[in-house]
Amino acid sequence: MTEQKTGVMRSAIDEARFGIRVARNHALTAETLEETLAFCREQAIDMLIARTPSQAIRFVQQLEALGFQLMDTLVYYRRDLTRTPIPEPQDAALIRPVRSGEEAAVRAIAAQAFQGYYGHYHADPRLDQAACDAAYVSWAERSCLDRSVADEVLVAELDGQLVGFATLRRNTSTQGECPLIGVVPSAQRRGIYRSFVVHAMQWCLENGMNETVVSTQITNLAVQKVWVRLGFEPMQFYYTFHKWFT
Ligand SMILES: CC(C)(COP(=O)(O)OP(=O)(O)OC[C@H]1O[C@@H](n2cnc3c(N)ncnc32)[C@H](O)[C@@H]1OP(=O)(O)O)[C@@H](O)C(=O)NCCC(=O)NCCS
CATH code for the domain of 150: 3.40.630.30
User: Which atom of ligand 1 has the smallest separation from the CA of 217?
Assistant: 47
The residue from 45, 67, 89 where one domain ends is 67
Residues 63 and 84 in one domain: no
Residue 74 lies in a domain: no
The Å distance, Cα 142 to ligand 1 centre, comes to 23
Q: Which percentage of the chain shows pLDDT scores above 70?
A: 98
Is the Cβ atom of 136 under 6 angstroms away from ligand 1? no
**CB contact burial 126-160 (16+ within 10 A = b; e otherwise):** ebeeeebbbbbbbbbbebbeeeebbbbbbbbebee
Residue 48 structural domain = 8-67
Cα separation of 42 and 28, whole Å? 18
Find the helix or strand (DSSP H, E) in which 37 lies: helix 33-42
Residue 115: how many other CB atoms lie within 10 Å? 13
For residues 131 and 89, the answer to whether their CB atoms sit within 8 Å is no
Residue 31 lies in a domain: yes
Task: Name which residue sits closest to atom 35 of ligand 1, judged by CA.
Answer: 189
For residues 81 and 201, the answer to whether their CB atoms sit within 8 Å is yes
Number of structural domains found in the chain: 2
Residues 84 and 151 in one domain: yes
Cα separation of 52 and 40, whole Å? 17
pLDDT tens digit sequence for 55-102: 999 999 999 999 999 999 999 999 999 999 999 989 899 999 999 999
The Å distance, Cα 212 to ligand 1 centre, comes to 19
Residues 166 and 57 in one domain: no
Has residue 1 got a pLDDT over 60? Answer: no
Residue 75 lies in a domain: no
Residues 125 and 94 in one domain: yes
From the list 143, 229, 145, the residue with the least C-alpha distance to 182 is 143
Say which residues have a Cβ less than 8 Å from residue 211's Cβ, sequence separation at least 6: 78, 79, 80, 81, 174, 175, 176, 204
For residues 56 and 230, the answer to whether their CB atoms sit within 8 Å is no
How distant, in Å, are the alpha carbons of 15, 64, 75 from that of 35?
Answer: 21, 18, 27
pLDDT tens digit sequence for 191-206: 999 999 999 999 999 9
Residues 114 and 223 in one domain: yes
**Residue 105: which pLDDT band, with cuts at 50, 70 and 90?**
very high
Q: What is the pTM of this model?
A: 0.92
Alpha-carbon torsion (118, 124, 127, 129), positive or negative: positive
How distant, in Å, are the alpha carbons of 13, 30, 121 from that of 3?
Answer: 15, 18, 22
The Å distance, Cα 188 to ligand 1 centre, comes to 6
Is the Cβ atom of 225 under 6 angstroms away from ligand 1? yes
Q: What is the mean pLDDT of the chain?
A: 96
Residue 113 lies in a domain: yes
For residues 1 and 12, the answer to whether their CB atoms sit within 8 Å is yes
Residues 101 and 179 in one domain: yes
